[in-house]
Structure 1
Amino acid sequence: MNFKSLLESEHSKTTTNLIVNEICEHPEKMDELMKIFVEGPIRTTQRAAWPLGFIAEKKPNLLAKYYDIFINELHKPNNHDAVTRNILRALQYTKIPEKHQGIILNRCFEFLNDVNQPIAIKAFSMTVAYNLSKQYPDIKNELKISIENLIPHGSAGIKSRGNKILKQINK
């Protein structure tokens, strides 16, 4: 299966599922997807990002060697929202290595507290930050404050996810 041709030809759930299934059956092909993700062009990068969350949900350890790439992408100033959103979606399913936790956590708080970020980026940032707060309970209060600031003016999705996380924090 030629991932690049597939991704360049169309952007669909069918294409994404084909790629996810192929990589889950042949994990060595993850490198091919990540090469396309990094090299672009941007439309192809966006399309290559979509399968990441599904791969992480099914086989989170397949993302283990790509954290440096994800961090680099999360810090690109003009990155497309789809790339950021799909990286964060994937990170919510993974056990982030300790050496990357601080930088990812800081970035999640930046996304949460940035009024210009889209809903999905904020929602996935909440989940990633909450998952990390289980290891670092000292950040729970900061996360709680960030979520409480979002909820009054947030979308239904932000309110729902925020309230679920607040319940977990307050246990």
Structure 2
Amino acid sequence: MNIAEAILEKYSTDHAIAITTYAASSRAKFKELMDCFASDHYRLSQRASWCVNWAAKKYLEMLEPYIDLLVERLQRPNANDSVQRNALRILNDTNIPEQHHGNLMNICFAFIEDPNTATAVTAFSLHMLRKLSKFYPEILPELQLLIEDRIDNETPAFKSAAKQILKLKMIKV
């Protein structure tokens, strides 16, 4: 199976799971899936991100060598929302090497501050910052100010994630 062709051929949950299962059968095939994820081809990277998200649920250990790539994809200015959302979702469920903590904090703060960021990306950014605040509690005051400034005009996803952080902030003070 050519993974790129299969990804572009059809768009359904069953198809994405089948591609993911096939890709997870070897490191070489999984690399092919990750190459699709890293592609600048909008539709290919979008659909591959869905498969990579499925892989994170069942084959998380296969993603460990690609943490750098997930973080790098978040930094691309032209990355689509699906790639950003799925990369953040996956990173929230993994042990992130300390070398990426600073970058991820900067990326997530930038996503939250940008009113054009997709809702799910903003919510996952809040979750990521909550996770990283366990290592860097000094980010909580800045995060609290951002949340309090925006919470009244935000979506339920933002409010839910924000309330978890505000509770955390109250406990740590």
Give the TM-score category using the shorter length.
Answer: 0.7 to 0.9
**Which residue pairs with 1:81 in the alignment?**
81
- Dislocated runs of 4+, deviation >4 Å: none
The two structures, once aligned, show a CA RMSD in angstroms of: 1.9
Per-residue deviation at 1:48?
A: 0.4
Contact persistence 2:70–2:87 (CA under 8 A) = yes
Distance 1:135 1:75 in 2: 22
Distance 2:151 2:19 in 1: 36
Q: Tell which deviates more after alignment, 102-111 or 73-82.
A: 73-82
Residue 170 of structure 2 aligns with an amino acid whose one-letter code is N
1:95 maps onto 2:112 in alignment: no
Distance 2:45 2:107 in 1: 20
Gaps of 5+ in 1: none
**Which residue pairs with 2:159 in the alignment?**
159
* Identity across the alignment (%): 36
Residue 17 of structure 2 aligns with an amino acid whose one-letter code is N
**Which residue pairs with 1:60 in the alignment?**
60
Once the two structures are superposed, residues 44-73 of structure 1 have per-residue CA deviations (whole angstroms, 9 ceiling, x without a partner) of 111001122332233433222223322322
TM-score, length-scaled by structure 1: 0.88
**Number of equivalences:** 170
- Which secondary structure state, in structure 2, belongs to the residue aligned with residue 83 of structure 1? helix
Contact persistence 2:89–2:124 (CA under 8 A) = yes
**Which residue pairs with 1:111 in the alignment?**
111
TM-score, length-scaled by structure 2: 0.87
Gaps of 5+ in 2: none
